[in-house]
Structure 1
């Protein structure tokens, strides 16, 4: 969006994000959304005990990038 909106720009700028079904972009977009939701859940819960309730596999999935 930085390239679309420049300093001094007075007109509205619209940014469209297009993702095709079955592509790597779709998988990456879903992974980002999942991690953003996890972050929101952690921040809004106000407690750290959730980490002890995760299995080793779930903890590893938090850091996996595939």
Structure 2
């Protein structure tokens, strides 16, 4: 798993959420979410990235570190 996905998992845990709960919150099937995390950041669409950022209250820097670098 990439460092970016590890950082995403840390943010999920820090938000006191599970991956299942986050997937549901952004309207994604949990198995799809797990698959995309396993594949890596390139698997997420821009809309999904935006939804994840909003659901986790990520800062601009965190969004950049996880999804854009």
Q: TM-score, normalised by structure 2?
A: 0.35
| Structure of greater Rg | 1
- Using CA pairs below 8 Å that are at least 6 residues apart, which structure has the higher relative contact order? 2
Q: Which structure: greater helix fraction?
A: 2
TM-score with structure 1 setting the length: 0.36
